[in-house]
């Protein structure tokens, strides 16, 4: 991966710089110094169950910057990185490394909703610009919304709600849900329940376990005993791999259909193998969207990283596109932050997922696809809900 070139000055070159400075002071030269690099702080998981997700987000972000010649709006980008370990108890200290120690201009992060909530608090307190490239915590573009906080991904409510629409449309009446007991799990299940019950179904029981535990056996036994029409699951990363394999190994797939928000099978299909084949999920991206934009993105991603892109890579790529839209509007002058924010608010992002705009609370308004796991791809079956906008509950801006 190409890193920004840092210049280190030898003694003679320092002398040249001093001479140039003096010439400018005395009006004998019109030398203009280039703006310094824009400092972007990437706070993502590099360890733990979400490590692969953080890696894909960073790759996507850097790919877009690289495609723009290493610059956004004419500004070179300098990266600062912190591993947040998907640990909310360390989140405030971690984000302050970027804000107070590294003095970054913009923070990009993270994956885990609990960590992202602490980041949003710190971004508000310090008035630092924040772009969230995954974590769906509803409050970030709800009650905690702010002019300088943006999201390039989704709210937890969105894929949950869309999967509820799908489940009700399939005629299921009795559902059980299963997830980790933290903001992303709870809010995704809430979205599912809202749409499923509006469509005539009933959630008979919510099952959960602490994040990031993967001891599913007792809960699977309870599903087998209750025999619902359908199970809705939210898991992601390493936990999703284990859950899908355990669900299959317990023999449940033959008797109780499993639906998930798309994180259940995104970036995980190779590890899940045959246990995931045929699983249907709902998400704002599908691997095989046959558009010139998605095809070009996937090709360039594969060439650059020798790996297939997934939804996390798309969200990282679009975080860079969103930042770029702001910087282009002010010709790279970050001091014109109000102008940047205005441009980001009204940006139309040409994403591999399909073009999207932002809601008034800065969350993507986007199509949610029904997908099916076929081979190594989450293939698009239908648009589950068109242009789904998060309600942005509690946002006043």
User: Contact residues for ligand BEZ (CB under 6 A)?
Assistant: 50, 111-113, 134-137, 156, 184, 236, 263
Q: Measured in whole angstroms, how far is the alpha carbon of residue 102 from the centre of its chain?
A: 23
251 backbone φψ class: left, alpha, beta (φ>0; ψ -120 to 50)? left
Q: Which is nearer to ligand BEZ, 166 or 340 (CB)?
A: 166
- CB of residue 43 vs ligand BEZ: minimum separation in angstroms? 14
Q: Which is nearer to ligand BEZ, 236 or 325 (CB)?
A: 236
Rounded Cα distance, 222 and 183, in Å: 23
- CB of residue 154 vs ligand BEZ: minimum separation in angstroms? 8
Rounded Cα distance, 276 and 281, in Å: 11
Q: Which is nearer to ligand BEZ, 78 or 86 (CB)?
A: 86
Q: Which is nearer to ligand BEZ, 57 or 77 (CB)?
A: 57
Q: Which is nearer to ligand BEZ, 108 or 329 (CB)?
A: 108
- CB of residue 18 vs ligand BEZ: minimum separation in angstroms? 50
Best CA proximity match to 38, nearest among 15, 61, 20, 10? 61
Q: What is the DSSP string of 112-170?
A: -HHHHHHHHHHHHHHT-EEEESS---GGGGTTT--TTEEESS--THHHHHHHHHHHHHT
346 backbone φψ class: left, alpha, beta (φ>0; ψ -120 to 50)? alpha
- CB of residue 57 vs ligand BEZ: minimum separation in angstroms? 10
- CB of residue 111 vs ligand BEZ: minimum separation in angstroms? 5
- CB of residue 227 vs ligand BEZ: minimum separation in angstroms? 29
Return the exposure string of 66-95: e unless at least 16 CB atoms fall within 10 Å of the residue's CB, then b.
Answer: bbbebbbbbbbbbbbbbbbbbbbeebeebb
């Amino acid at each position: 991966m190409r890193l920004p070139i840092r210049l280190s000055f030898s003694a003679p070159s320092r002398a040249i710089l001093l001479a140039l400075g003096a010439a400018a002071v005395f009006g004998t030269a019109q030398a203009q110094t280039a703006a310094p690099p824009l400092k972007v702080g990437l706070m993502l998981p590099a360890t733990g169950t979400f490590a692969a997700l953080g890696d894909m987000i960073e790759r996507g972000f850097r790919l877009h910057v690289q495609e723009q010649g290493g610059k956004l709006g004419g500004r070179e980008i300098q990266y600062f990185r912190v591993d947040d370990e998907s640990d909310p108890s360390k989140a405030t200290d971690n984000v302050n490394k970027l804000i107070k120690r590294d003095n970054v201009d913009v923070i990009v992060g993270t994956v885990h909703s609990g960590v992202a909530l602490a980041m949003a608090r710190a971004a508000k307190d310090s008035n630092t610009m924040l772009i969230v490239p995954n974590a769906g915590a509803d409050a970030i573009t709800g009650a905690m919304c702010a002019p300088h906080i943006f999201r390039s991904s989704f709210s937890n409510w969105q894929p949950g709600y869309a999967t509820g629409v799908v489940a009700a449309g399939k005629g299921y009446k009795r559902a059980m849900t299963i997830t980790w007991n933290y903001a992303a799990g709870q809010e995704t299940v809430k979205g599912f329940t809202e749409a499923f019950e509006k469509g005539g179904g009933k959630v008979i029981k919510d099952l959960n376990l602490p994040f990031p535990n993967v001891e599913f056996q007792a809960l699977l036994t309870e599903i087998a005993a209750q025999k619902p029409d359908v199970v809705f699951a939210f898991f992601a990363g390493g936990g999703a791999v284990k859950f899908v394999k355990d669900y299959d190994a317990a023999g449940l797939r033959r008797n109780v259909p499993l639906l998930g928000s798309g994180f259940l099978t995104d970036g995980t299909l190779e590890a899940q193998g045959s246990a995931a084949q045929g699983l249907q999920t709902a998400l704002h991206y599908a691997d095989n969207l046959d558009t010139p934009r998605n095809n070009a993105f996937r090709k360039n991603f594969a060439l650059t990283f020798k790996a297939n892109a997934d939804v996390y890579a798309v969200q990282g790529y679009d975080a860079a596109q969103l930042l770029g839209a702001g910087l282009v509007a002010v010709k790279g002058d970050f001091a014109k932050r109000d102008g940047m924010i205005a441009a980001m608010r009204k940006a139309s992002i040409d994403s591999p997922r399909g073009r999207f705009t932002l809601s008034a609370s800065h969350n993507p308004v986007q199509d949610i696809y029904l997908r099916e796991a076929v081979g190594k791809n989450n293939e698009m079956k239908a648009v589950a809900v068109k242009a789904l906008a998060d309600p942005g509950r509690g946002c006043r801006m």
